[in-house]
Amino acid sequence: MLYKTYEARRSLMEPFVDFAQAAAKFYGNPQSPLAKNPLAQRMAAGYSLIYRLGKDYEKPAFGIQTVNVDGTSVAIHERIELDKPFCELRRFKRFTDDPATLTKLKGQPAVLIVAPLSGHYATLLRDTVKTMLKDHKVYITDWKNARTVPLSEGSFHLDDYVNYVQEFIRHVQGIYGNCHVISVCQPTVPVLAAVSLMASRGETTPLSMTMMGGPIDARKSPTAVNNLAMNKGYEWFENNVIYRVPSNFPGAGRRVYPGFLQHTGFVAMNPDRHATSHYDYFKDLIKGDDASADAHTKFYDEYNAVLDMDADYYLDTIKTVFQEFKLVNGTWEVTGVDGKIEKVKPQDITTTAHFTIEGELDDISGSGQTEAAHGLCYNIPKAKQKHLEVKGAGHYGIFSGRRWRDQVYPVVKAFILDHNEAPAKVTLVPVAPKKIAESAPAASAAAKPLAVAETRPVVKLLPKQAAKPVAKAAGKPVTTLVSDLFPESVRKPGAKPVAKPVAHTAPSKAAQALSPAAKLPARKTTAPKAKTARGK
């Protein structure tokens, strides 16, 4: 009923929204008689703000036409590689007529980016994609709005998500022999499950998997998002946030978690900042600061565009990830496309390099939640594991904006290049499964002399200027850095970056002696041969 009420209100408001848009143009056009009014500029700004607050935001386009590769402009052709009922696998194919650049593009690694299915469209990772296109062949999962999927396509569960990821990995592997996988936020859990299942079957697993800000173990440093999911019962979510799609959409009758409810939750996390941003937009229009106004509209065109999620997938995620913690407890079983039920065993992964990234001030996935994946994948050699904590970064800062481009991406690029060759098979040694403790990381480290965090290479990024200590009391969420939620494109021009990478303190001699990496011979990284083609 709520969904129908929302749609009725939106339909009722649509004529007024269109009027506000027309009025803004009348008062803002210098050739219009209304522009002679002394208050014309304020009237135009006010109507423009009303229009943007009331309009319906459609799915944005990636809009990546070209990228710069070592000074050469490379054309980008976006196309759909696989079209599934609930997701499209998109490829950003690169073209150039420069022979030297073409040769370079052919030898670059293939990367599958798994975008989150948690409210926003995959275009939220536009900056991630555009940055990586300079040095990689890029594919991305583009999840569909559930209200556009007819009921005839059936339901969509978390198990289906895992199966989709496996199919996409095999598709990219079939073209290039192998690939690297990057998951951002929510998909870290299903991606780890997908790679685990492939390893358990003896399939070729990706050369590397990079996990960024995801809830692998949501018990660690729980945030406001985690607390809501953990403190409310399964039935509460089913009865309070699940509604059927109205009859004016292709997916009429489908049970979904509506996008407008998710958007309300996003705004509620930082209401003051959003109100200030809209008021600044109004003032920028009055002053004629078109650059700042355009930055505002660009950001909110993306931020306000949300999609509906299939109810079965959403409820499965609540139960599996945030209530029963099936992945870390070793009790998660996934039903494959053939109907066979298989247990998720991350310890079966042995040859895939593993990189986890967290933001110090992330209030979506708290500190330690993503790093917990290393404790599950304990059969991956320590020399092939790495963790990065980005000082001063919030959730969005680790995959979008200046921190992503200047601090995080160079480390990700180097990690992929270091592991861009087929690894040797590893013989598993029977080891008792490790139980992920609910205590703080410091406690678990003290309980074991040779903890994963001690032997795994760790890179830390420190802020340029000393910042005030951030409270991280156990069980209390950390506030997202406003500059990460609202990237530099929304802030005033001329802002300077506040952080820069510095070298981490060298490990002690004792740690070097214990580290398996110290005993491994140096390897030469060679790029895989690619098919001769004009575009890559």
Output DSSP code: residue 81.
E
Residue 106: what pLDDT? 92
Phi, psi values for residue 470, rounded to 5°: -100, 125
The whole-angstrom separation of Cα 534 and Cα 536 is 7
pLDDT digits (tens, 9 = 90+) for 295-348: 999 989 988 999 999 999 999 999 999 999 999 999 999 999 999 999 999 999
Residues, the chain, total? Answer: 536
Residue 214: what pLDDT? 95
| CB within 8 Å of 237: residues ≥ 6 apart | 314, 315, 318
Burial state string for 424-462 with b = 16 or more CB within 10 A and e = fewer than 16: eeeeeeeeeeeebbeebbeebeeeeeeebbbbbbbbebb
DSSP string, 413-462: HHHHHHT-SPPPP-PPPP-PPPP--SS-HHHHHHH-TT-HHHHS-EEEE-
Which residue is associated with the tokens 């409310």? Answer: 232
Residue 338 burial by Cβ neighbours in a 10 Å radius (0-12, 13-18, 19+):
exposed
Residue 424: what pLDDT? 58
Element housing 66 (H / E)? strand 66-69
Which residue is associated with the tokens 């004792």? Answer: 510
Which three-class secondary structure state does DSSP give residue 384? helix
Task: Considering only CA atoms, give the Rg of the chain.
Answer: 24
Residue 154: which of 82, 243, 84, 85 has the closest Cα?
85
Residue 35: what pLDDT? 84
The whole-angstrom separation of Cα 522 and Cα 531 is 28
| CB within 8 Å of 297: residues ≥ 6 apart | 52, 281
Strand duo 385-390 + 458-461: pairing: parallel
The whole-angstrom separation of Cα 34 and Cα 342 is 69
The whole-angstrom separation of Cα 115 and Cα 148 is 19
- Predicted TM-score of the model (pTM): 0.78
Which residue is associated with the tokens 């005033």? Answer: 492
Which three-class secondary structure state does DSSP give residue 402? helix
Which residues of the chain have a pLDDT value below 50?
429-430, 432-536
pLDDT digits (tens, 9 = 90+) for 401-445: 999 999 999 999 999 999 998 765 555 544 544 444 443 333 333
Structural contact between residues 343 and 158, judged by C-beta atoms closer than 8 angstroms: no
Which residue is associated with the tokens 């990772």? Answer: 125
- The strand pairing partners of 137, in sequence order, are 110
Return the amino acid letter for 347.
Q
Return the amino acid letter for 20.
A
Residue 435: which of 491, 485, 372 has the closest Cα?
372
Residue 36: what pLDDT? 84
Strand duo 208-212 + 137-143: pairing: unpaired
pLDDT digits (tens, 9 = 90+) for 200-220: 999 999 999 999 999 999 999
Phi, psi values for residue 458, rounded to 5°: -120, 130
Residue 260: which of 86, 48, 479, 54 has the closest Cα?
54
Residue 423: what pLDDT? 66
Residue 508: what pLDDT? 43
